[in-house]
């Protein structure tokens, strides 16, 4: 277990590496490895533990009754998932959590996090504060996605998403965390139509694209 890495994550902010082993033991934390495409949680499951990505990448997805998949979010090393469901015992998941590549996940039972142990470990208060801050950030991310997909046009959705990525990266050149299919799913558009619109925007000199690397050249009126 890389305690130095964990101490730098948002969930464990303020907790020293030398405290990690005792803390994880107190919380009865468990690690598990998943292969690419393997389901970590399925819709309908009742999650009692939140997951922390140690290695790899996971996708938060929703499948409708016709089998269409929408990517709602992703989690990279150091990020968490399923915390909302773990904090509401018995609430079935509305989403699938899938390993996008070989991934190692650290699971923390939220009831153990929220309940002070008999040893009165100092880290419980820090974990609760960090978890609250992360939950608030997730709400902001949900609001951001609503904004990204508010436009009825594909160009409008692309413009909203790419503009936001540029602002967040502080540069007109940035890398996005999705491949084309995942981006299409995130924006709730057809992949072919998305690729066609990206090609059109490149021909118009609005942006340059190389795989996941984007560079905004000038403003779009879409």
Mean per-residue pLDDT, 69-91: 90
Which of 42, 5, 11, 201 shows the shortest CA–CA distance to 107? Answer: 11
Mean per-residue pLDDT, 86-97: 92
pLDDT of residue 142: 84
Q: What is the mean pLDDT of the chain?
A: 91
Q: What total of structural domains would you count in the chain?
A: 2
In a domain, residue 222? The reply is no
Max mean pLDDT range (86-95, 112-121, 151-160): 151-160
Between 7-16, 57-66, 92-101, 111-120, the lowest mean confidence (pLDDT) is in 111-120
Q: Which residues contact 39 (CB under 8 A, 6 or more apart)?
A: 96, 97, 98, 99
Cα distance between residue 110 and residue 154, in whole Å: 39
Do 142 and 154 belong to one domain? no
Do 68 and 126 belong to one domain? yes
165: domain CATH number is 1.10.10.10
In a domain, residue 98? The reply is yes
In a domain, residue 203? The reply is yes
Question: Model-level pTM greater than 0.75?
Answer: no
pLDDT of residue 114: 82
Mean per-residue pLDDT, 36-50: 95
- Contact (CB, 8 A) for 149 and 157: yes
- Contact (CB, 8 A) for 6 and 12: yes
Do 110 and 52 belong to one domain? yes
Give the pLDDT band (50/70/90) at residue 69.
confident
Cα distance between residue 12 and residue 78, in whole Å: 9
Cα distance between residue 82 and residue 216, in whole Å: 34
- At 191-207, the pLDDT tens digits run 999 999 999 999 999 99
Quote the domain boundaries for residue 143: 3-147
- At 118-138, the pLDDT tens digits run 665 677 788 889 999 999 988
Cα distance between residue 121 and residue 135, in whole Å: 23
Mean per-residue pLDDT, 161-185: 94
Mean per-residue pLDDT, 100-112: 95
Do 143 and 33 belong to one domain? yes
**Across the strands, what pairs with 175?**
213
Do 101 and 184 belong to one domain? no
pLDDT of residue 132: 92
Between 109-113, 123-127, 146-150, 170-174, the lowest mean confidence (pLDDT) is in 123-127
In a domain, residue 92? The reply is yes
Residue spans of alpha helices (H) in 89-179:
110-114, 123-148, 154-169
The DSSP element (H or E) to which 186 belongs, if any, is helix 180-187
206 compared with 65, residue with greater pLDDT: 206
In a domain, residue 197? The reply is yes
Mean per-residue pLDDT, 3-30: 91
- Checking if the pLDDT of 98 tops 60, the result is yes
């Amino acid at each position: 277990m890389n305690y130095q890495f964990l101490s730098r994550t948002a969930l464990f902010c303020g907790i020293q590496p030398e405290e990690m082993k005792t803390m994880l033991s107190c919380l009865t934390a468990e690690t598990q490895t998943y292969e690419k495409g393997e389901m970590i949680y399925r819709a309908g499951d009742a999650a009692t533990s939140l997951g922390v990505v140690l290695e790899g990448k996971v996708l938060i997805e929703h499948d409708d009754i016709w089998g269409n998949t929408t990517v709602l979010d992703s989690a990279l090393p150091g990020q968490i998932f399923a915390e909302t469901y773990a904090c509401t015992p018995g609430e079935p998941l509305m989403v699938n959590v899938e390993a996008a590549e070989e991934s190692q996940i650290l699971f923390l039972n939220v009831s153990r996090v929220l309940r002070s142990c008999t040893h009165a470990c100092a880290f419980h208060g820090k974990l609760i504060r960090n978890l609250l801050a992360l939950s608030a950030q997730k709400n902001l991310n949900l609001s951001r996605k609503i904004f990204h997909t508010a436009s009825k046009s594909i160009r409008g959705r692309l413009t909203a998403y790419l503009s936001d990525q540029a602002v967040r990266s502080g540069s007109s050149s940035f890398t996005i965390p999705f491949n084309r299919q995942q981006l299409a799913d995130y924006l709730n558009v057809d992949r072919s139509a998305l690729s066609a619109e990206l090609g059109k925007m490149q021909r118009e000199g609005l942006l340059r694209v190389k795989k996941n690397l984007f560079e905004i050249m000038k403003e779009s009126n879409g």
